[in-house]
Structure 1
Amino acid sequence: MSTLRVHWTIAPAIAPRPLINCNRCGGVKPYRCGEKFRVNANGKRIDVWLIYRCVDCDNSWNFTILERRNRRDIEPALLTALECNDPALVRRFAFDAAALRNRAGRVEEFADITVHKEPPAGEPGHATALWLELRLEGTTPLRLDRLLAGELGLPRSRLQALEGRGRLTVGPDGGRTLRKPVRDGLAVRIDLIGEADRNAILSAACR
């Protein structure tokens, strides 16, 4: 059996938004990332926050990144990136839904994503099985079956049927992973022998 291996890198498109009790609006409101850090130096101690703004009134909320850290304990490159509002570093913290949830309690997440597919070596049409290796930048509430359905052009019911017949497997989690949010490091294998639209599925996996 010939297997086509494809790497997908999945990037959430919209940063999660903490739900904060806004003292200006007088109720709980979603706060958007302001894409800027606030760095405060008090002697040798440094505090760093990522600034968020209320979507309605622009009131600010600080997401703690570093607290009372000695300047000597911070890598110079990291400190420079914080002071310069490095976009990649902003994204790294803004898309960390777990850390936001620990700080704010409640977080609004979005299933919007972009998928980068690395072209495989060889000719896709000759394969009889598909192996997808998933890499996730950040976190997303998007379920695995919705991701596969959208990218491969298959109904979710068919994906579930393939799983039920043992022709679709997911590692390392195993059972019922299709119904769970996509996680970094998942590997999806689909046996396509006898599937009339095998070539269309293989092609969709690569583009």
Structure 2
Amino acid sequence: MSGYLCIHWAITPEIAPRPLINCNRCGGVKAYRCSEKFRVNANGKRIDVWLIYRCIDCDNSWNFGILERCNRRDIEPALLRALESNDPALARRHAFDVVALRSRVGRVEEFPDVTVHKQRLGDTGESATALELKLGLEMPTSLRLDRLLANGLGISRSRLQALEDRRLLIIDPEGARALRKPARDGATIRIDLVAEPDRQAIISAAGG
């Protein structure tokens, strides 16, 4: 493993999923964007909480249920404060819960746009002949792994596929057609570059 340069890629999605909802103002199905604002309604000791979405065309509102008829004493005080103060991190976490959104509305528009922060791990640099990329996703993304790697390494997707076919690119955990599936949190990609003439350029693009 001495020839491997290990790099951590911290991947942050840029645009939250948008539910597709029949807008009663526009008269058709429209994408709704997250407003990053919560609506907290207290009725005695019972509390309801929604995350507010807005139609991208007319600003009509739609409420995505977060808590329903919860007893105040069952809610952690810190969580209640975060909801009442529209904590951005909490709103973002719920906005990127595409599984919950789909269970509520069915159709959801997802976006592949991400920001990648690359951090080198260890000292191996110019002597490296292989890469080990560790992926950390802040939130799930629909971005395919081959597109992520192609953009991050400056090489084509067909070349990545050729490296995988020759067993010079290994994905852990491995799965059928993993390159063509969304990037996964915790995945490790190992690429043997010893025979690649532009090895150093690829390593530099990776964050080395």
TM over 0.5: yes
**Structure 2 equivalent of residue 115 of structure 1:** 116
**TM (normalized to structure 2)?**
0.96
Unpaired segments ≥5 residues, structure 1: none
1:190 aligns with 2:191: yes
After superposition, give the CA deviation of every residue in 1:113-136 in whole Å (9 maximum; x if it has no partner). Answer: 100111333142111111111011
**Structure 2 equivalent of residue 204 of structure 1:** 205
Task: Find runs of 4+ consecutive structure 1 residues off by over 4 angstroms.
Answer: none
Report the residue type matching 2:7 in the other structure. Answer: V
Alignment coverage as a number of residue pairs: 207
Secondary structure of 2:126 counterpart? helix
Distance 2:156 2:95 in 1: 32
**Structure 1 equivalent of residue 178 of structure 2:** 177
Unpaired segments ≥5 residues, structure 2: none
- Counting aligned pairs with the same residue, the percent is 70
**Structure 2 equivalent of residue 51 of structure 1:** 52
Report the residue type matching 1:126 in the other structure. Answer: S
Distance 2:177 2:24 in 1: 42
Report the residue type matching 1:155 in the other structure. Answer: S
**Structure 2 equivalent of residue 72 of structure 1:** 73
Taking the TM superposition and a 5 Å limit, the aligned residue runs for 1:93-104 are 93-104=94-105
**TM (normalized to structure 1)?**
0.96
Distance 1:203 1:124 in 2: 9
Secondary structure of 2:68 counterpart? strand
1:81 aligns with 2:82: yes
Taking the TM superposition and a 5 Å limit, the aligned residue runs for 1:114-153 are 114-153=115-154
After superposition, give the CA deviation of every residue in 1:141-161 in whole Å (9 maximum; x if it has no partner). Answer: 111000000010011111000
Whether contact under 8 Å (2:4, 2:124) holds in the other structure is: no
CA-based RMSD of the aligned residues comes to: 1.1
Distance 2:111 2:132 in 1: 27
After superposition, give the CA deviation of every residue in 1:147-202 in whole Å (9 maximum; x if it has no partner). Answer: 00001001111100000000101111333100101111111010111211111111
Report the residue type matching 2:198 in the other structure. Answer: D
Secondary structure of 1:48 counterpart? strand
Q: 1:72 to 1:173 in 2, by over 3 A?
A: farther
Secondary structure of 1:119 counterpart? strand
Whether contact under 8 Å (1:125, 1:203) holds in the other structure is: no
**Structure 2 equivalent of residue 168 of structure 1:** 169
Distance 2:86 2:97 in 1: 17
